[in-house]
Structure 1
Amino acid sequence: MVVDLPFIWAGIIAFAVLAYVIMDGFDLGVGILFPFFPEKHDRDVMMNSVAPVWDGNETWLVLGGGGLLAVFPLAYATILPALYAPLIVMLLALIFRGVAFEYRWRTKRAEHLWDLSFIFGSTVAAFSQGVALGALVQGIPVVDRAYAGGWWDWLTPFSLLTGVALVVGYALLGATWLVMKTSGRLAIKARRIALRTAGATILAMGLVSLWTPFLNPLFLERWFGWPNMLYSGIVPLGVAGCFYLLLRGLLKRRDVLPFVAALGLFVLGFIGIGISFYPYIVPTSVTIHEAAAPDESLLFLLVGAVVLVPLILAYTAYAYWVFRGKVDPHEGYH
């Protein structure tokens, strides 16, 4: 039996990226929502809700980026030059946000400045990720196995739309996370914000979904060609179902259901990107097999991944289990 190692590794890296988006998305969303909660006590509780897990969530970003370099070096060498600007801004924003997270608890006089830094880092990181995604979806010109575009090719109306869409989506994740993890007045306010961001997220997903098929004939065929639309049509039906569960959970005052439904929206959006992309890793220039390292390297790295990925999943699950339930408003990160 022939094992398709590039396909397996594409699945592993796709899983790592998805894990990062859904896990780090809600704590970026908490930072994005800070301006709507001006009281110090509310902000303390919000930060305490993500304090045990926020830095561990970014493990998946390291795994996805490092895996791309090791397993698909051609894709790494093509994508990075095309997206240097938004990715560098993203990393700087994440660093800035991490520093703000720590220093906010160490000072009283300048606490408001670190609050602003936390808001800025979270929002800019989310926006940069969305811009990078939009630039990748719209296509990267490749000539002779190298990036053939310019420095500003990533900056387009479509990439700006995806940047705004991801900020709104992360805000939804953050709001539903707060509904699940907090209580009292803060949770009530988070529920109201979740209702608004749910509608905005669906609108943004609709705009991006309607625009994407017309960026490339391949995308148009994948979504509207026959019989492809019989399978691709499952995604918008799933989105509608998750949106219904999200609204139902918020209106019925459920705590966990809205967050799970919001995660479902992101998973389905990620599946939609996979439907458009496959088998390309750099649409529509480089396939996963063309970009892959030699099979010997892939097999060697897979041995490590078989050990490493379950360990990451185990300690992540343990952290979330230990810190399950509502946040105690009188205890937390100091």
Structure 2
Amino acid sequence: MPFDLAFIWAGLIAFAVLTYVILDGFDLGLGILFPFGRSDGDRDLMMNSVAPVWDGNETWLVLGGGGLFAVFPLAYAVVMPALYMPITLMLLALVFRGVSFEYRWRTKRWKGVWDIAFFSGSVIAAFAQGIALGALVQGIEVTDRAYAGGWFDWLTPFSILTGLSVVVGYALLGATWLVYKTAGDIQVQMRRYARWLGSGTIGLIGVVSIMTPFQDAVYFERWFNLPGSLWTMLVPLVMLALIWAFFTGLKDQKDLQPFLSALGFFVVSFIGIGISFYPMMVPPTLTIWEAAAPDESLAFTLVGAVVLVPMILGYTAYAYWVFRGKMDPSEGYH
């Protein structure tokens, strides 16, 4: 084949996962902060700020998971048994959370129940995503092209740390999103939360970044082997610039800058994970090319992706454009 189709598809899957994280991250983060709304009106405003776009955000999760099944079937067959528990919990949490979006507007008697479902679904989904990430980073045991580990191999101090990091990071995205989308008392409240959550997120990213190279010798060599490490050192330098932009934006009350900077934290962290992983699809042994489907299958599915991905990007961008600007508390999407 004239193109490395497995590499192209690995890039598409990575793009879908990153897009899901940065779009649905602030959506889940808003749910994590939901109980801290000071009144029903504030909580309604928080939910309304994402109501037009939340379900579209999750399209990217379907694309990432479905794409993995279609074009990297071996990786899917290994990862799913290794991560059945956190993935199942994540999906159930997303279901209850999605239902709560509609049901809490249709009832008064049970509104508190659906508020709890929205909050707990957001926390559990974020924590499960972080657990799954930590389990992948620390490596999945593979023997004869099949998962060879135990039922609870995913549950380690490192994966719990990454789970907590994702929860705090998503809460930061939610707080900065509300700084951007609201005004008045709730904006002041979320700007204050963003300072604390930003400090927590940066600290947790630092701890995870320090621990990651020690999860596998390949990671350590990738980050601390000259001259290659001269390039990898660009990652922490970019992170420092984003940290400066984040706190400067909060201080100067530039509503959009903290949100974009917080998104940048996730993008840079994702790039750092990519530097550690490549060329592994399932660390530490299964490469992109070993996990890929035959080239004929990759080429066939790529035709569909070339059509669908721009369409998804187009309607996502259009939705955000239509619902741009500050939220009006007197109006909403129900």
Shared fold by TM > 0.5? yes
Counterpart for residue 284 of structure 1: 284
> Deviations 1:233-274 (Å, cap 9, x if unpaired)?
111111111111000000100011011101111000000000
Counterpart for residue 271 of structure 2: 271
Distance 2:116 2:3 in 1: 50
The code of the aligned residue for 2:117 comes to S
Counterpart for residue 222 of structure 1: 222
Kindly state the Cα deviation for residue 110 of structure 1 after the two structures are TM-superposed.
1.8
Note the residue ranges of structure 2 that are not aligned, 5 or more in a row.
Answer: none
The code of the aligned residue for 2:54 comes to W
Note the residue ranges of structure 1 that are not aligned, 5 or more in a row.
Answer: none
Query: What SS is found at the alignment partner of 2:332?
Result: coil
Distance 2:34 2:297 in 1: 45
> Deviations 1:137-183 (Å, cap 9, x if unpaired)?
00000000000000000000000000000000000000000000001
Counterpart for residue 68 of structure 1: 68
Kindly state the Cα deviation for residue 285 of structure 1 after the two structures are TM-superposed.
1.1
1:1-334 matches, within 5 Å, as 2-334=2-334
Query: What SS is found at the alignment partner of 1:33?
Result: helix
RMSD of aligned Cα (Å): 0.7
> Deviations 1:50-87 (Å, cap 9, x if unpaired)?
00000000000000000000000000000110000000
Distance 1:38 1:143 in 2: 53
The code of the aligned residue for 1:206 comes to G
Distance 2:311 2:221 in 1: 40
Count of residue correspondences? 334
Distance 1:172 1:239 in 2: 16
Query: What SS is found at the alignment partner of 1:281?
Result: strand
Runs of 4 or more consecutive aligned structure 1 residues displaced over 4 Å after TM superposition: none
Distance 1:79 1:55 in 2: 25
The code of the aligned residue for 1:318 comes to Y
Distance 2:109 2:82 in 1: 42
Distance 2:322 2:112 in 1: 31
Distance 1:237 1:217 in 2: 23
The code of the aligned residue for 1:35 comes to P
Query: What SS is found at the alignment partner of 2:300?
Result: helix
Kindly state the Cα deviation for residue 41 of structure 1 after the two structures are TM-superposed.
0.6
Distance 1:333 1:123 in 2: 23
The code of the aligned residue for 1:102 comes to E
Distance 1:81 1:214 in 2: 25
Distance 2:324 2:168 in 1: 25
Distance 1:302 1:196 in 2: 43
Kindly state the Cα deviation for residue 333 of structure 1 after the two structures are TM-superposed.
2.0
Kindly state the Cα deviation for residue 2 of structure 1 after the two structures are TM-superposed.
2.7
The code of the aligned residue for 2:17 comes to V
Kindly state the Cα deviation for residue 282 of structure 1 after the two structures are TM-superposed.
0.4
> Deviations 1:195-216 (Å, cap 9, x if unpaired)?
0000000000001000000010
Identity %: 67
**TM superposition score normalised by structure 2:** 0.99
Kindly state the Cα deviation for residue 34 of structure 1 after the two structures are TM-superposed.
1.1
Distance 1:61 1:74 in 2: 19
Distance 1:262 1:36 in 2: 20
Kindly state the Cα deviation for residue 38 of structure 1 after the two structures are TM-superposed.
3.4
Distance 1:112 1:333 in 2: 19
Distance 2:238 2:163 in 1: 23
Distance 1:137 1:64 in 2: 18
> Deviations 1:75-124 (Å, cap 9, x if unpaired)?
00001100000000000000010111111101112211211111000000
Distance 1:144 1:113 in 2: 47
Structure 1 window deviating more from structure 2 (111-120 vs 3-12): it is: 111-120
Query: What SS is found at the alignment partner of 1:50?
Result: coil
Distance 2:107 2:185 in 1: 26
**TM superposition score normalised by structure 1:** 0.99
Distance 1:296 1:176 in 2: 44
